[in-house]
Chains A and B, each alone.
Chain A
Amino acid sequence: MKKIFGRPKSMTDKPFHYCPGCGHGIVHRLIGEVIDELGIQDRTIGVPPVGCAVVMYHYFNVDMTEAPHGRTPAVATGIKRVHPDKVVFTYQGDGDLAAIGTAEIIHAANRGERITTIFVNNTVYGMTGGQMAPTTIVGQKTTTTPLGRDSRLIGYPIKISEMLAITDGSVYIERVAVNKPTNIIKAKKAIKKAFQVQLEDKGFSMVEVLSQCPVNLAMTPKEACEWIDNTLIKTYPLGVIKDKSGE
């Protein structure tokens, strides 16, 4: 019998610990498929974040290290500078990348570090139980914005991809989503391209992935996926934000 679907070789058989309906599992799988397709499993080194995806290293057959919260791009910088011939990626949530690690990601992008960042934006702190993230949209309820995010008190959802796009060191930045099959197909294409930009030694590449966190959004998985389409993309429109990979 011909096998037409299976687990990517770059991933382990350990079951995901993620909550029902969570988008992390989809994003992980897309990365695994891309690593397989590019044939880079034996020369990829990953740096997961502090947050829900901290134990991502259990799910991949590639070398990986933990990093302190938000310092992920700095750790990845150290690795890449020692092994310029390896493929180094970070996987970061909105808290890790856009709050506590803001300085590290901006300067890694600006230095044009040859790393690839997969930035999962689900608008909440998942692991700690649903606090406001820097990407929480105005009016959104979280445990630390019980009446909804009030922009007069705590400002606005940060548009970090757009911010990174204006650094000269960034080459390719795209925002995608994993809330429905058509978007998932586009997300995989973007992730593959981001790795290719690194393989071609062009500079910093990042894919921001809008992802669903039904448990902390207090929604059913279906509602969370629909919420991305109906609400979230108004703040965070999908598409290529910067691409100078052809230059």
Chain B
Amino acid sequence: MAEKVLMSGNGAVGEGAIQAGCRYYFGYPITPQNELTAYMAERLGELGGVFIQSESELAAINMVFGASAAGARAMTSSSSPGISLKQEGISYIAGAELPCVIVNIMRAGPGLGDITPSQADYFQAVKGGGHGDYRLITIGPASVQELYDWTAKAFYIADKYRNPVMILGDGFLGQMMEPLEIKKIKEPKLSKKTWALTGARGRKANKIITLMLKVGELEEHNKKIQNKYKIIEKELTEYETVLTDDAEIILVAYGMCARICKESVFLLRKEGIKAGLIRPITLWPYPSEIIRKISNNVRYVLTVEMSAGQMVEDVRLAVLGRCPVYFYGRMGGGVPTSEEIIKKVKKLNRKD
């Protein structure tokens, strides 16, 4: 096994990007992701890459647009209020089918909120924070190692599907330090970016366009990208299950909350309560199938989030009334504890 280093989640995202060959980073300062921006400034300086601290989030996401249009692997990162500002660019990038990676280390809102962790940007990420019918591939890692692994993989996914990918972490994951194995990145070969803007030498000029004025043209383009989304749903959905085989009650949580829920499941098992966990890793595409399947055999499902209840809507859509779906959440920087979750389960068991 390779040597391990102690690294923050924010640093792990940066190193994952570097190892995936990202040499273009554009960002604007915001807590709790500043370590990532600083990491990219240092590493890209060493490697002769490009780091620009932009004048705004709008400029940062559009520099990513330009770098991606030029054929490069490019990344930007921010936290919730900054990600709101990037939504215009994300819609254009999705419409133009440009690959890139966007990192959101979520903090509590609404408004300026607080720099404390949160998962309240789930709707914005997976339901389309910008205008138009588009999908943002969204990954919810749950450890420093996963932040590294998935950020590296995100560049491949983005290039493969010509689609933006979001790494959806939170202030907790971004700031905490854990041992990290910096694995060498191996990825399947991808076809050349023949669509990229490199100067029209010996070929027809390439044009990157989202404005489509001819009757029916935009509808056809929409159909094309919706078909792509169907393929992504089929090929990309990932999740983890913990003790679900004989489970009578199922917890569903992602990211930091999933780690807390995992502990809760083990503690509940010690008390003889047959609990299990489904952890969606891809948040879009969403692992509805496994939730649907398991919901046939359990008494109820409990979704736990650091929000007022956002992902729980996707859980309800997956369960479709096969069993009750309950919710426990904390907001505004509050983080659920395993004690709180166990208490909630016991209360539901009495009610059930």
Contacts and interface: CB of A to CB of B under 8 A. Distances in A.
Interface string A186-211: 00000000000000000000000000
Interface residues on A, range: 35 or more
A43 B70 CA distance: 12
Contacts of A54: 211
A63 B199 contact: yes
Interface stretch (A77-85, A156-164, A174-182, A222-230): A77-85
Given A62-B205, A68-B88, A74-B54, A43 B62 contact: no
Specify which of A74, A104, A111 lies most central, judged by the most chain B CB atoms within 10 Å of its CB: A74
A78 B197 contact: no
Interface in B24-74: 24, 26, 50, 52, 54-56, 58-60, 62-72, 74
A107 interface: yes
Contacts of B67: 78-79, 81-82
B208 interface: yes
Given A62-B205, A107-B59, A81 B200 contact: no
A45 B201 CA distance: 11
Contact of B56 (A42, A79, A103): A103
A103 B55 contact: yes
Majority DSSP secondary structure for residues of A touching B: helix
A66 interface: yes
A42 B201 CA distance: 5
A215 interface: no
B197 A65 contact: yes
Contacts of A170: none
B62 A78 contact: yes
B57 to A, nearest CB: 11
A74 B206 contact: no
Given A66-B210, A68-B92, A79 B62 contact: no
A47 B67 CA distance: 13
Interface string A58-88: 0011111111100100111111111100100
B74 to A, nearest CB: 7
B96 interface: yes
Contacts of A78: 24, 26, 62-70, 74
Nearest to B71: A82
Contact of B198 (A47, A55, A63, A103): A63
B169 interface: no
A71 B74 contact: no
A84 to B, nearest CB: 9
A79 B63 CA distance: 8
Contacts of A65: 65-66, 69, 96, 197, 207-209
A126 to B, nearest CB: 16
Contacts of B207: 57, 63-65
Contact of B52 (A41, A47, A81, A86): A81
B59 A103 contact: yes
A167 interface: no
Contacts of A55: 211, 213
Contact of A42 (B50, B71, B74, B202): B202
Contacts of A74: 54, 58-60, 62-63, 65-66
Given A62-B205, A68-B92, A103-B56, A75 B198 contact: no
A77 B70 contact: no
B117 to A, nearest CB: 30
A74 B206 CA distance: 19
A42 B200 contact: yes
B62 A75 contact: yes
A151 B50 CA distance: 43
Interface centre among B60, B63, B96, B211 (most CB of A within 10 A): B63
A81 B71 CA distance: 11
A76 B89 CA distance: 14
A86 B201 CA distance: 11
B205 A79 contact: no
Contacts of A67: 62, 65-66, 92
Contacts of A61: 200, 205
Which one of B198, B207, B211 has the greatest number of beta carbons of chain A within 10 Å? B207
A41 B199 CA distance: 8
A145 interface: no
B25 to A, nearest CB: 11
A30 to B, nearest CB: 19
A245 interface: no
A235 interface: no
A55 B207 CA distance: 10
A44 interface: yes
B269 to A, nearest CB: 51
Given A103-B56, A103-B59, A104-B55, A68 B70 contact: no
Interface of A: 41-45, 47, 54-55, 57, 60-68, 71, 74-83, 86, 103-104, 106-107, 111
Given A71-B65, A78-B62, A103-B55, 4 more contacts: A64-B205, A64-B207, A75-B66, A78-B69
